[in-house]
Structure 1
Amino acid sequence: MSTYNQKILVVDDEPDLQMLMMQRFRHKIRSKEYEFHFAENGQEALDLIAKDSEISLILSDINMPRMDGLTLLNELQNIQRDDIKAIMVSAYGDMDNIRTAMNRGAYDFVTKPIDFKDLETTIEKTLREIERILKSKDLEDQLTTLNYDLDMAARIQQKILKQDFPVYADDNRFDVYAHMIAAKHVGGDFYDFFKVDDEHFVFFIGDVAGKGMPAAIYMAVCRTMLKSIGSEVKDPAECIFKVNNMLIPESDISTFVTVFYAVLNIKTGELSYCNGGHNLPYLASKNGEVRELDDVGGLLLGKFDDAPYEKTTIQLSPGDTILTFTDGISEAEDEDDGFFEEYRIVDYLKKSGDKSLNSLVKGLFLEVMKFAGAAPQSDDITVLATTYNGVNSNIKT
């Protein structure tokens, strides 16, 4: 039983009962386990309940003036509080009234003359039921709050990531396409892309540790920082370095983010990139070759002050595609708890041929879904792909 005061309302018109209750339960009263309140009829009881919502247990006689116990039971049902339980007191052998009381929602009953040992047992049993109901209600409230947070987190994530493709239909020097399937409990995947000027196109993808509202908020903060700094700084390593230091005050012991960040010169095809602990992307060449980008090192963001980050630059040829993804792809599980793993990504890219960019991305999702079958996924599944078409290209992807 809980140690806090249990407020018990005794409803009876017999003046001696109040003294008897206070005497018989004096130890419970002194230890502050029980706190008794008294009313002489059903109407007084309703007035007290209206004033004090902590009253949950009612011990009521059936026969009383003004409003009897059976009418009181009817009125209690109108209050619509699941945590109110009534123990009815009736004359021994008065089975008709006892049956009526139970049908009207009484939790239990005792008979006159009152056996106080039996009454204490009945009170304890009823209080345990009330406490169970209150705990269940607390859990329901917590679940409602959690579901609200998850719904809001999902809205934040979808609002941030929603893009109408094609985004740059009037610029055929490059193409970009992204797609995400959110996990049931909303993870922290995000991506973004933007043109800094007529020569430079930035794209990045990230994965925040955690789920729900905290991950969604941290994701929004991280994305905003990357976009803000990236609009001013063209060096990927410098951008990641600054964002990392800015994120540290926003991070707690279990919060961090992995990021792959790249800048494509859409006039020359040079791709400069920096990696902050994220899955390395794959380069799918026009000639059918597929390789993982070189690892330039780099720690995850939000944990280590002044962590060093390096960039590297590669030359893309027209038709080359950079496929970035989160670990929701490589760690997608099938019904036997096996992982999709990155070799399947490579195999898929090698067999994809001249697919358009959106077909390439959606086809990879289809492969993952076929692999997973009916197995539920615990993480977001996100892919961002960019194709360099060349300065004078008329390629449409």
Structure 2
Amino acid sequence: MAIKILSMDDELDMEMLIQTRFRKQIRERRYEFIFAHNGIEALEVLEQHTDIDIVLSDINMPEMDGLTFLTRLNTINNPRVKAVMVSAHGDMDNIRKAMNLGAFDFITKPINFEDLDITIDKTVGHIEMLIQHQKERDQLVSIQNDLLIAREIQQAMLPKIFPPFPHRKDFDLHGFLEPAKSVGGDLFDFFMMDENHLFFIIGDVSDKGVPACMFMAITKAIFKTHFLHSSFENIAEEVRQVNAFLSEDNDSFMFVTAFVGVLDLTTGVVEYVDAGHEPPLILRKDGTVEVVKKKTGMALGIDPTYDYHTQVLTLQPGDTLFTYTDGVTDANNEAGDRFGMKKVEELVASIGPNNTPKEINTTVKATLKEFIGTHYQFDDITTLTLQYYGN
């Protein structure tokens, strides 16, 4: 596409001179010239031709001189249009004024057309750079908008109404996900399988950002398909089937650690499968904290034949099960200190058993935020807290 140049000069032979000197570039459609004889005509031309790239303007002209035109050009607010001013050799006062008014470059009379060609090429290069920067900026804005939508979709997929079962007096639970990027790979979910059994899961996908978010969504959906209204006999077998699905055609080699549990609300017994996840804590009614000692299985999505095993823990009325992702323990501050498992235990113990799951999670979130301070959060932070009251 030809570079469109508006040449403005009151000397009528300048038009013929430019067409003669640049006939090759014009014939090859490298340049396209439009001519005006003063600033007023030039402004009219700019209104008609919004795709003009360069204005080649004489400074001394009747009716409207080049400096006045340059002032008017600034009001058009089109950063793509670049002005190259032409003035008599030695007229540095007007050239200085023109540059102060925003002219991109200048040449002097009598015009050296080789110099003019070089100046036009330089100006074109600058314009192309601006166009490229604008494209990159538009692409960045588009990506940011897409990430914002993805974040909204991800957050919409997570439970967000708390308390989720206000009519139930035998338990309460609360969860939150704070992604490190616009979207994250952590997940949590829960739902009633029947009147007496609560399914819950917390997980952490191996990657970050959009790919992890997509894998998280698939994992969450598959678990819900397998356990919602399910009359399963073996939770480990259900997890094995989910794992086989996630492992199939997993060319990205992504995986997800998960703690998957089913709480019998009549007994407080939790049957669970650990798939390489962080050890939960039990905050007992008496204020003591226990780390759940468990057999750790393989993360989901790696080996489709892996044999998972069901394990059991028991919650007494008043006990709280605190589950989390490694974004909690691995949180770092500016000094490079890691929050660590010991601090998690101490924090949960200090909160105590008389707080609701929401209050516990709110305190954990605030404590981690204070610990991280001005340091960047490099991993998603997620907790799911379940409190069992019994009948």
Tell me the equivalent position of 1:39: 34
Answer yes or no: is the 8 Å Cα contact 1:296–1:311 preserved in 2: no
Alignment counterpart, residue 138 of structure 2, candidates 137, 141, 157 = 141
> Aligned-pair distance for 1:265?
1.4
- Is 2:177 the counterpart of 1:180? yes
Shift of the alpha carbon at 1:223? 1.9
Structure 1: runs of 5 or more not aligned = 393-397
* Residue 339 (structure 1) shift: 1.1
Q: What corresponds to 2:80 in structure 1?
A: 83
Which residue of structure 1 lines up, in the alignment, with residue 344 of structure 2?
345
SS in 2 for 1:143: helix
Q: CA deviation at 1:83?
A: 2.2
Cα displacement string for residues 39-75 of structure 1 (whole angstroms, at most 9, x for unaligned residues): 122368537743xx4x533434456799875676466
Structure 2 Cα separation of the partners of residues 320 and 182 of structure 1: 28
Given the alignment of the two structures, is residue 320 of structure 1 paired with residue 316 of structure 2, yes or no? Answer: no
What residue identity is the alignment partner of 2:216? Answer: M
What residue number does 2:295 align with? 295
Q: Residues 80-229 of structure 1: matches in 2 within 5 Å?
A: 80-94=77-91, 98=95, 101-102=98-99, 104-183=101-180, 185-229=182-226
How far 1:194 sits from its partner (Å)? Answer: 0.7
- What is the RMSD computed on CA atoms of the aligned residues? 3.3
**What is the deviation of 1:263?**
1.0
- Equivalent residue letter for 2:156: K
SS at match of 1:40: strand
**Runs (5+) with no aligned partner, structure 2:** 37-41
Report what 1:334 is aligned to. Answer: 333
Q: Distance in 1 between matches of 2:100 and 2:313?
A: 82
Pick closer, same or farther for the CA change 1:248–1:58 going to 2, 3 Å. Answer: farther
Is 1:283 equivalent to 2:320 in the alignment? no
In the superposition, relative to structure 1, how do residues 281 and 317 fare at CA in structure 2: closer, same or farther (>3 Å)? closer
Alpha-carbon distance between aligned partners in 1 of 2:188 and 2:172, rounded to the nearest angstrom: 15
- Distance apart, 1:325 and its partner CA: 0.5
State the alpha-carbon separation in 2 of the partners of residues 278 and 76 from structure 1. Answer: 64
Given residue 22 of structure 2, which amino acid in structure 1 is its aligned partner?
A: M
Identity over aligned residues, as a percent?
36
Contact 1:270 1:313 in 2 (8 A): no
Instruction: Spell out, residue by residue over 1:285-319, the C-alpha distance to the aligned partner (whole angstroms, 9 max, x if none).
Output: 44525123402412233x55x24241323141413
Q: 1:43 to 1:174 in 2, by over 3 A?
A: closer
> Residues 71 and 226 from structure 1, CA distance in 2 versus in 1: closer, same or farther, beyond 3 angstroms?
farther
Q: Which amino acid aligns with 2:23?
A: M
User: Residues 6-27 of structure 1, C-alpha deviation per residue, up to 9 Å, x if partnerless?
Assistant: 725252552121121235x69x
The whole-number CA distance in structure 1 between the counterparts of 2:97 and 2:348 is: 74
8 A contact 1:290–1:350 mirrored in 2: no
Q: Tell me the residue number matched to 1:11.
A: 7
CA contact (8 A) 2:4 2:34 kept: no
- TM-score between both structures, scaled by the size of structure 1: 0.80
SS, match of residue 111 in structure 1: strand
CA 329–356 in structure 1, closer or farther in 2 if over 3 Å, else same: same
Work out whether residues 85 and 106 of structure 1, in 8 Å CA contact, stay in contact via their aligned partners in 2. Answer: yes
Give the Cα–Cα distance (whole angstroms) in 2 for the partners of residues 252 and 82 of structure 1: 46
Question: Is the CA contact (8 Å cut-off) linking 1:172 and 1:389 kept in structure 2?
Answer: yes
Contact 1:277 1:298 in 2 (8 A): yes
Distance 1:317 1:104 in 2: 76
